[in-house]
């Protein structure tokens, strides 16, 4: 597609349930990033995929969070046993890497997760 | 990653130039400066980026000091729709985090009539 697509756009879940958030990056973009943004806060890096390299998971807040990227394209962020503090907007971005040192990142509109 | 420092908020009159400063005194020689903005309830939007030279595009101009320790984003004729949070970011230069953007708190720019 023309942009980064995320689904669902909104998700309300009960505390303790697992959730999966999906990101479809721009076709051909080799790098994919997940961020989250809590209400009134800045963006917090979660995880970064680049091609076939091992992902940078340094931003995942706990072992309840995991992400995978299948076939170098679609990515799924999974949160197990959700807690109320997981409530946030989860943003995905993709970019071309390797086109010199000059490339832009395109963000999706995010998934607003509410844990009740 | 080099850290950035921005004022928490700024005001600008509609039609005037908005000059948003950013300090990145620990930037490395091969790290780029990126600017993004986020309008309420939307994902961040790319504005401009640069390495050493000043840059201009249809949205804005980026002025980087000669020592690269600071930069200024210029919106030449601010409109009400430019009201947003503006993030100045230094991009990771290498290693496993190559390409990762680290966002700070940004500057809330309010454009008023």
User: Per-residue pLDDT tens for A29-77?
Assistant: 888 999 999 987 888 999 989 888 888 899 999 999 999 998 879 999 9
Q: For chain B, which residues score pLDDT lower than 50?
A: none
Token digits of residue A40: 């009134």
Would the CB atoms of A97 and B87 count as touching at under 8 Å?
Answer: no
Q: Is the pLDDT of residue A81 over 90?
A: yes
The predicted-structure confidence for A8-20, as pLDDT tens digits, reads as follows 999 999 999 999 9
* pLDDT at position B93: 59
CA distance B49 to chain A (A): 8
Nearest to B99 among A42, A91, A95 (CB): A95
CB contacts, 8 Å: B43 with chain A: 4, 91, 93, 107-110
In angstroms, the CA B109 to CA B21 distance is 11
Q: Is the pLDDT of residue A101 over 50?
A: no
Q: Which residues neighbour A29 within 8 Å (Cβ) at sequence distance 6 or greater?
A: A94, A95, A96, A106
Quote the DSSP letter at residue A17. Answer: -
Please name the helix (run of DSSP H) or strand (run of DSSP E) that holds residue B21, with its range, or none.
Answer: strand B18-23
Q: Is the pLDDT of residue A96 over 50?
A: yes
CA distance B78 to chain A (A): 23
């Amino acid at each position: 597609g023309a942009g980064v697509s995320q689904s669902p756009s909104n998700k309300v879940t009960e505390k303790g349930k697992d959730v999966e958030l999906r990101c479809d990056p721009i076709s051909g973009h080799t790098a994919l990033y997940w961020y989250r943004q809590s209400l009134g806060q800045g963006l917090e890096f979660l995880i970064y995929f680049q091609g076939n390299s091992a992902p940078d998971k340094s931003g995942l807040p706990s072992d309840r969070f995991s992400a995978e990227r299948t076939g170098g394209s679609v990515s799924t962020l999974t949160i197990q046993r959700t807690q109320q503090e997981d409530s946030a907007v989860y943003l995905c971005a993709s970019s071309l890497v390797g086109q010199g040192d000059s490339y832009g990142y395109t963000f999706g509109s995010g998934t607003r997760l509410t844990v009740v | 990653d080099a850290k950035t420092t921005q004022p928490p908020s700024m005001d600008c009159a509609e039609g005037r130039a908005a000059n948003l400063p950013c300090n990145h005194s620990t930037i490395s020689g091969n790290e780029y400066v990126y600017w993004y903005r986020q309008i309420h309830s939307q994902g961040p939007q790319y504005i401009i980026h640069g390495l050493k030279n000043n840059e201009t595009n249809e949205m804005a101009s980026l002025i980087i000091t000669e020592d690269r320790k600071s930069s200024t984003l210029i919106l030449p004729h601010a409109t009400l729709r430019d009201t947003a949070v503006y993030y100045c970011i230094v991009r990771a230069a290498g290693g496993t985090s190559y390409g990762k953007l680290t966002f700070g708190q940004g500057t809330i720019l309010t454009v008023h009539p």
